[in-house]
Amino acid sequence: MTTTTTTITDVGTIGVPVADQDKALEFFTDTLGFEKQLDVSMPSMRWLTVAPAGARTSIALIAGPKPGTDTGIRFLVPDAAAEHASMREKGIEVGELLRWPGAPAMFEFQDLDGNRFEIVEAGG
């Protein structure tokens, strides 16, 4: 077996395709409560990132690629049932709260572009 080493130490940013960066920014900051980290205009694009307060990994809201995908992104919360209820109250489209023996409670939600994310109860 070959051992490979790397200097990669963390995941910094994950890109999510959006149709309108301003509307996506509003959803992530005003509706989900994330913080805007960067908003930089470049010659050919706008680099816009958001993250939960204190998070090490951010989400880049990228204009252009086809939105409406399963992002594979899992956000951790201390109480999935409480977050599920909170998101429903905010009008966010959420899936069923799923519970299986030996697995953490989880559910899916969608942003305004139909991108799908999972909420997973931490420590479960």
91 close to 30: Cβ distance less than 8 angstroms: no
Residues 6+ apart with CB under 8 A from 88: 94
CA distance 58 to 35: 10
- Residue in this structure with the two tokens 């409406």, named with its chain if needed: 68
45: Cα separation from own chain's centroid: 21
Name all domains of the chain by residue range, CATH numbers in brackets. 13-121 (3.10.180.10)
4-53 pLDDT per residue, tens? 787 677 889 999 999 999 999 999 999 999 999 999 998 889 999 999 99
> What is the reported pTM?
0.83
pLDDT tens digits, one per residue of 41-96: 988 899 999 999 999 999 999 997 789 999 999 999 999 999 999 999 999 999 99
